[in-house]
Chain A
């Protein structure tokens, strides 16, 4: 007993344990950084130096329905869309092409100018493929994001499957409408309707001009417009008073999040602010796909494709919904 006392009194150990406990509590906070825009230094731009995002580095798998789980090594993948992605980053479609290059699947594909995306012409001899994907901790979400624009992160789930021809046709029509309503020479897009929904209020902004703010210059090339740019552009135009963002590097048991969560916005009297674990999640909509997207009515997950990672072409509607865990 006396020997133990010589190392340090029990009271001193309490302080050590307490310090370690506080450090453990502080670790998640270190992985989160809150930003309220506009900031005095950068206005409605985000300080890209303030975050430490990661590139995909861990070998992953992609499930091709009917074939099984196929492995890929991120280090061996280069992107087909260098106009969209920075070096080291790539899309779901790039993984697929890599699997074809490594002869794990047979793939015929082409870039469709009218849709501004790569499309699968045939995979293992079958036509009519689409995909769904989610990041670690999330769930499949009936995605309607261009396959060559969906950024890959470590530990994500991807499934390629034969889609109902009606839904696939609706998705391609949605892309075609987007492309036809965008001026390819212009660095900005005009979104006819942007809707914010809180539990009690709905606010709509119409014909909003959106420009790139390069908030995720680590992932995307300069000039690529994302859903987060919708908020930043609304802020610049004076439509939004403030936007609260939180950079989350990780969540409990989810090692890689690396995305901005929208935790508060203020537009006059419309002011949904974070309470508990509520965030604003976005949904890109259009007339053609309104029956073919996830309704986001469930409240079990908000690990999704965050606004800073969803590339926009020229959607008809972007909706922001308040979701609580």
Chain B
């Protein structure tokens, strides 16, 4: 059987190439979609959970844009007065309230996000350091600017300050790698924020009672209390609507692959009627003929699937490596995606071969031999 399949593939190279390409496009699209979607979801999850807060206290405004600004380290122009901090800290179940002031400033002459905060940040971030003094620099920015512990940073925007680097963080693979963490007052001075904060990150003592705490905090004037999970869900919702469109496009590509393969196999049955007649005359059963065409279709589909996997992988290298929310999102590859894509290829192969294989199996040997 393998010999017959390979011989036919060699005989009709152009058709095989086109059929394999048709399936490969569908599989490549699916593989790239799965890898990119997983990358985006992981990036959002990493950024939001990486904040380490159970509740985000934000100024009034669109909570999603404000959260994105916070994650991206850019100033959203809406702020919380620093005077509110003691009141926030006194709310029941608030374990720690970490003030944050973010914005972009020139760090050693290059525009970079600075993240003003207090030593309490160490209680909610998993950086593995014990003190927050001077500048704590993310690994990416340290590499970009060629910084080392002990170097003195010049940070400049509305005013200019100099600050020694106390720590260069180990890579977190999140946005923390791109920030320069500095003491709150210094960030406020450089960013021209006066006594204002971009946000307050709240960690609760009893997580199961966070909803009540969020409600209490949300009733304070001029601020809104948002659980990070809600922001994550909302951003994922926005992304899902895009993903659905992409899934539709992928489905169309896969259906096109099925039709292409079906067309190829139907044509093959028509062209190889005499070959089928001889096979039947030599003792092949209807089921043998049916199996031959299904196997041939499966071979083409799996070949297309394999080419598609390679193509999809290469495509992800050239597609934008961000989440669409201004956050880096590298594609995530998994063995499961490989299995899914090959399973789709198998489904394409089997479903597209059923009709032609049944037609081939119904071939009357005597009738076709008479036509020889």
Contact = CB atoms under 8 A, between A and B. Distances in A.
Interface of A: 65-68, 126, 132, 139-140, 159, 161-162, 164-165, 297-298, 300-301
Contacts of B65: 139, 298
7 contacts: A66-B157, A68-B194, A139-B78, A140-B61, A162-B158, A164-B104, A298-B65
Nearest to B74: A164
B61 A139 contact: yes
A172 to B, nearest CB: 18
Nearest to B77: A140
Contacts of A297: 238
Nearest to A140: B77
Contact of B64 (A66, A132, A298, A301): A298
Q: Is the interface of B mostly helix, strand, loop or mixed?
A: loop
Interface string B59-91: 001101100000000011110000000000000
Contacts of B64: 298
Given A65-B158, A65-B191, A66-B192, 14 more contacts: A65-B193, A66-B158, A67-B192, A68-B194, A126-B158, A132-B77, A139-B62, A139-B78, A140-B78, A161-B77, A161-B192, A162-B158, A165-B111, A297-B238
B192 A300 contact: no
Contacts of A132: 77
A159 B77 contact: yes
Contacts of B76: 140
Contacts of B193: 65
B159 interface: yes
Contacts of B104: 164
Interface residues of B, number: 18
A159 B104 CA distance: 16
Given A139-B61, A297-B238, A65 B192 contact: yes
A66 B192 CA distance: 4
B77 A300 contact: no
B61 A66 contact: no
B78 A164 contact: no
B62 A300 contact: yes
A67 B191 CA distance: 11
Contact of A66 (B111, B159, B238): B159
Interface string B82-108: 000000000000000000000010000
A129 to B, nearest CB: 11
Contacts of A298: 62, 64-65
B10 to A, nearest CB: 49
Contacts of A139: 61-62, 65, 78
Contacts of B75: 161
Nearest to A68: B194
Contacts of A161: 75, 77, 192
A234 B157 CA distance: 46
Nearest to B193: A65
A140 B194 CA distance: 19
Interface string B190-203: 01111000000000
Nearest to B66: A139
A300 B63 CA distance: 9
A162 B157 contact: yes
A69 to B, nearest CB: 9
A132 B194 CA distance: 18
B112 to A, nearest CB: 11
A58 B111 CA distance: 38
A228 to B, nearest CB: 25
Nearest to A159: B77
Nearest to B192: A66
A297 B64 CA distance: 10
Contacts of A164: 104, 111
A294 to B, nearest CB: 8
A65 to B, nearest CB: 4
Contacts of B238: 297
A62 B158 CA distance: 17
B197 to A, nearest CB: 15
B341 to A, nearest CB: 31
